[in-house]
Amino acid sequence: MFNFSANHLLLLSRTEFQKCAVFLLRDLDTQRVYRLYDFTKSLLLRPGVAYSVAGKVNSADKLYLVLESVRLDTKHPLASTAPVPADGAGGSGIG
């Protein structure tokens, strides 16, 4: 086993199985998709939020990325993808 960590990950899906929850997360920098296993089934991730994760790689016969910790990725906040109206509508903080 060895350690792994990754930043700037976005949740694609979560699937619950009898023994674990499986998260699909996409690295927003490399566009790689990771399948991460949560055997505690206690981690709750929200879509549209960037995360940093850490865990162990268990490679008995297959490669499993086992989650140990998840935190918000404050170094890589997601930028809004909503277009800004040309006329400035939508409000601003000018007072």
pLDDT tens, residue by residue, 19-44:
999 999 999 989 999 899 999 998 88
What percent of the chain lies above the pLDDT cut of 90? 35
Q: CA separation (Å) from 33 to 30, 43, 83, 86?
A: 9, 18, 27, 35
Residue 87 has pLDDT above 70, yes or no: no
According to DSSP, the β-strands at 64-72 and 2-16 are unpaired
pLDDT-derived band at 86, boundaries 50, 70, 90: low
Q: Are 60 and 41 in contact (CB under 8 A)?
A: no
Residue 78: pLDDT band by 50, 70, 90 thresholds? low
Region 64-79: what's the mean pLDDT?
A: 79
Query: CA 31 to CA 10: how far, in whole Å?
Result: 10
